[in-house]
Structure 1
Amino acid sequence: MFRWLVACLALLGLTAPLHAEAPVVFEYPARLIEYQQFPAAGLPDQRLTIWLPPGYDGSERRYPVLYMHDGHNLFDVAKSNFNKIWAADQAMLAAMASGTVEPHIIVGIWAPGADRYRQYLPRSAYDAAPPALKAQMDAAAGGEVVSDRYLAWLTGPLKSWVDTAFRTRPGRDDTAIVGSSMGGLMSCYAFLEAPQVFGRAGCVSSHWPAVDPRSVERESESVKALWDAWFAARLGAPDGRRVWLDHGTATLDQFYAPYQQVVDARFAAAGWQRGRDWESRVYEGAEHEENAWAARLPEIFGWLLKK
């Protein structure tokens, strides 16, 4: 579906570099560039915060790019939802200091408020969901599920603009996507549906139940079957790609293990080599929140983005 949308956007001339309002530039200590209104066809206006690694302005070097969801929770506590952040810039600096990860440009895409759920819920999984689960998804979404449009925008107009506006290396192996919770599902969706674009994906504390996990306990086998079939139909061979999966064991993350185990088994059955092509970790005691994700983000970057 999203490939069809990309084609339509191209016909409309919307895959050319976009024109957003003048950005706000912060020194943080490297440069942060914020676009407060960024047009996206068929979606709420998006908002971006872009982190440029130290030395960007003083060289002609081209950089790999990391796209991250929930961009308001990545860098600045004052702009975060819960007064907590991933500290993605610090995690990138730590990964760079290890000598195994190249500097990356980070493109943080803010979640569109109340539309976050319907923008991040994978459309192809929603379409395949059993009726009882789909009814709960509809109630949570409060409107049309538009993640296919979001993915078409990510892989078309946004990426085209980023690769024009900044010195990037635009190839698949230099393009990664990372998110948590519903953003973890969205990262897996992007990786599976656009394998020619994203060569790396970090699916952190992915919200596999998709709705309140307590409400699907009786239907957990059908939810497991949904994700198993979804990955089986799309995963394919590794072909040099790499995926990180994880969850904690406290708060919302305590419900994820049974689903994650099914997804892990599907990776193994598809011939992906754990530790090389994919990784799955469990963090004992870790909660479903930004401080927990920040604590392990240097490790995630160190494995996922290594040269």
Structure 2
Amino acid sequence: MADHSPAFSSAEPPAVSVRHDDSLVSVPLRRTVHLDIMLPPGYEQTTRNYPVLYLNDGQDLARLRMMEVLDSLYQKQAIEPFVLVAIHAGDRIQEYGTAARADYMHRGSKAGLYTDFVLTELLPYIKKHYRVSSEPATSAFAGFSLGGLSAFDLVFHHPDQFGRAGVFSGSFWWRSKSTEDGYRDETDRIMHDLVRKGSYARNLKFWFETGTEDETSDRNNNGVIDSIDDTLDLISELEKKGYRYSANAPWSDIRYVEIKGGKHNQETWSQIMPDFLIWAFSKE
């Protein structure tokens, strides 16, 4: 395990440091899983355990400008210090998805193995080698697109491990039938069905983002793109399950952010990242 933390002079403010960790070899995934661990300012000078954020598609940290985002938030004292575990994707089309089942094209066929990796290998490894909290309330999982679907699936089904999910442009269109085979919104979106059949957990909270230019598809021709429809419909399913939703209400279990002109890319997700991080790790 190599530590490539940048050096700072005493005249400079404390900054985030990064460790590139290639020591975790996964049995179910049959590959080395590359990790970038972003440590908060002062990590080396303390003995405390920190909140933790696990992030899918960790190879995209540079495009997300994550170092710049975190340094800015810490300098403003806008968030509590936390450890970020950025998980580099492997075969993301197969490893990301819903653990319970693949989609109609058999994408996500290794999502169950990815869940196994996270629960039985990644979490114990991180807790052994880094000072992170074991409390679900201080553990979050987030991701983008298919990685967001994966993150939501992990948090929703494992409230004993995680307390918060962050979903950027989530692939909630994930479906069991093609449109040619009689697909229906009401029955064939996999994650919506899993929420309907799942259990309410009082400790869970959810953050969702969509952009008005995430895509152009509009299956039901209602003038709203599918990514927005699918996300709002999932929020409705969560409400039916018992989760509370009211825009900007401090008691809400759900936060939804819709970005006018937002696209399905890292630049948009970087733009809204501070909103998510303040929601997840606010000092208030």
> What TM-score results when the alignment is normalised by the length of structure 1?
0.77
Partner of 1:210: 174
| Count of aligned pairs | 260
Residues 181 and 206 in structure 1, CA contact (< 8 A), matched pair in contact too: yes
Does 1:59 find its partner at 2:9? no
SS at match of 1:90: helix
C-alpha spacing 1:255/1:102, structure 2 compared with 1 (3 Å): same
* Residue 86 (structure 2) aligned to one of 95, 108, 115: 108
Does 1:68 find its partner at 2:63? no
Does 1:41 find its partner at 2:30? no
Q: Distance in 2 between matches of 1:102 and 1:121?
A: 30
Partner of 1:159: 123
* Residue 112 (structure 2) aligned to one of 148, 151, 155: 148
SS at match of 2:64: coil
Residues 211 and 262 in structure 2, CA contact (< 8 A), matched pair in contact too: yes
Q: Distance in 1 between matches of 2:125 and 2:43?
A: 18
| Residue identity opposite 1:34 in structure 2 | H
Deviation at 1:249, TM superposition (A): 1.4
Deviations 1:70-124 (A, max 9, x none): 11101x3xxxxxxxx1122333344445545211100000011xx1111011121
Partner of 2:18: 32
Q: Distance in 2 between matches of 1:226 and 1:208?
A: 8
C-alpha spacing 1:160/1:226, structure 2 compared with 1 (3 Å): closer
Q: Greater helix percent: which structure?
A: 1
Residues 214 and 227 in structure 2, CA contact (< 8 A), matched pair in contact too: no
Partner of 1:226: 190
Q: Distance in 2 between matches of 1:216 and 1:284?
A: 28
Q: Distance in 1 between matches of 2:188 and 2:208?
A: 16
Partner of 1:295: 271
SS at match of 2:141: strand
Does 1:23 find its partner at 2:9? no
Does 1:248 find its partner at 2:211? yes
Residues 92 and 103 in structure 1, CA contact (< 8 A), matched pair in contact too: no
- The RMSD of aligned alpha carbons is 2.4
Q: Distance in 2 between matches of 1:179 and 1:292?
A: 13
Deviation at 1:159, TM superposition (A): 1.1
Residues 172 and 199 in structure 1, CA contact (< 8 A), matched pair in contact too: yes
| Residue identity opposite 2:17 in structure 1 | R
Q: Distance in 1 between matches of 2:260 and 2:187?
A: 24
> What TM-score results when the alignment is normalised by the length of structure 2?
0.83
Partner of 2:135: 171
| Residue identity opposite 2:208 in structure 1 | L
Deviation at 1:174, TM superposition (A): 1.2
Does 1:258 find its partner at 2:221? no
SS at match of 2:276: helix
Partner of 2:150: 186
Deviation at 1:36, TM superposition (A): 3.4
Deviation at 1:265, TM superposition (A): 0.8
SS at match of 1:248: strand
Structure 1 residues without counterparts, runs of 5 or longer: 1-21, 77-84, 127-132
SS at match of 1:26: coil
Q: Distance in 2 between matches of 1:244 and 1:304?
A: 9
Q: Distance in 2 between matches of 1:252 and 1:23?
A: 40
**Percent sequence identity over matched residues?**
21
C-alpha spacing 1:110/1:236, structure 2 compared with 1 (3 Å): same
Deviations 1:234-260 (A, max 9, x none): 2414x2321101211114374312211
Deviation at 1:24, TM superposition (A): 4.5
SS at match of 1:285: strand
Deviations 1:257-280 (A, max 9, x none): 221121011122222122421112
Q: Distance in 2 between matches of 1:125 and 1:304?
A: 29
Deviation at 1:298, TM superposition (A): 0.1
Residues 209 and 223 in structure 1, CA contact (< 8 A), matched pair in contact too: no
Deviations 1:179-216 (A, max 9, x none): 010000001111012110011110110012238xxx74
